[in-house]
Amino acid sequence: MRKKYTFIDLFAGCGGLSEGFYRQGFHALAHVEINHFACESLRERMKYYGYKDIDKAVIETDITREDIVDEIRKRCNTDNVDLIIGGPPCQSFSSAGRARDEHGMKNDPRNYLFESYVKILNAIRPKFFVFENVTGLLTARLKGKRHIFTVLGELGKEYKVYNGNPSDMVFNTVNYGVPQIRKRVIILGVRKDIDLEPADLYKGIVKTNWDSDMSESERKGLQPPVTVRDAIGDLPPVPNGGGSNMMEFKPKAMNSFVQKIRSKDDETLLYHVTRKNNDKDKERYKVMAQNHWTFLEMLEKRPDLRHEKARVFPNSYTVQWWDQPSKTIIAHLYKDGNLFIHPDWKQDRSITVREAARLMSFPDDFVICGSRTEQFKQIGNAVPPLFAEAIAKCMKKELNKVDKL
């Protein structure tokens, strides 16, 4: 019987990264997360996979506490952990976050949350680690130094990390079957006593789908990107302000993407309920989707729909078009859905929680706890499970090699 490899998930969120590792047969020892509703989602998923002692395994706490390593050791056996995975909150590195803050987020304490990751990593000493973050990590500067080099320097004290061009660590999730353009930095590390190089790990994360930036030769052998239509086109239409948190749903047919995230025996659909918008927003959504307009085109052709706010951005309202992957799903979705207008103009609405979850490649039976606001936050902050699974496949293959050394 093949060994079940183990992992600990730090800054676990609702469990998008963990889901990819579950799907590849990994065993979770612990999840560390501070948000209560995300912890409830983690517990629900552990129940789904048949775990016992779930309350022990989900550590709902502040990861910066002094005794965090002792707390993890109290909750699980850390003698021979295979992997630590996770990514500190990214708001202080994101371009949106820096744009909103007058100091460019330089004084934000979240800049240093990676230190808690490093502290736990060096104490528990797994064979490998996976560190995920936004691409803003590559350009953020603190005290005159690019923050990526500070992070790599700290991670590299006890682990071998990639020492090439940092841009080589950027991955677009659309290349891994996710119906969404979402670029993220993935830092992979190998404990220094193991005879493997980080560069070899990156080669094992295999692309399955091409993207629009690729040349014809680069696309050879790859599938087209998964589109918004592929992801949500089978879902029942719901009007603005309509839908239900649980409804009967049995699709007549399931395409290859839906087959990956939905059981053929499932006859329910969760969280397919929409926001209720004012009449002016509904008209904006409708005419933009119907005419394939950008926000600026709408303002030019329908001046009566100009926004009441004095300051709006060119992409303040954006339709997610049927035959393209969606734009990056962000946690801001909990505030309003203007950046995520449904492509069917007859529905004149923004996307539902279920549609956002599908665009992130979450399984349809994944329980996301809390209010709609909390659900959108959890989805927007997550790692898409199908991308996480591509990483997990690679790590499992490398762990098999280590076992044979």
What are the residue numbers of the active site? 90
Residue 132 β-bridge partners: 186
**Strand 170-172, strand 141-142: pairing:** unpaired
Nearest Cα to Cα of residue 155 among 91, 88, 109: 88
What's the N-to-C CA distance of the chain in angstroms?
19
Can you state the angle between helices 372-380 and 36-48, rounded to 10 degrees? 80
d(CA 212, CA 225): 9
Q: Are 232 and 324 in contact (CB under 8 A)?
A: no
Give alpha helix (H) positions in 90-168. Answer: 95-100, 114-124, 147-155
341 burial (CB, 10 Å; 0-12 / 13-18 / 19+) is buried
Q: CA 184 from chain center: how many Å?
A: 9
Q: Are 176 and 23 in contact (CB under 8 A)?
A: no
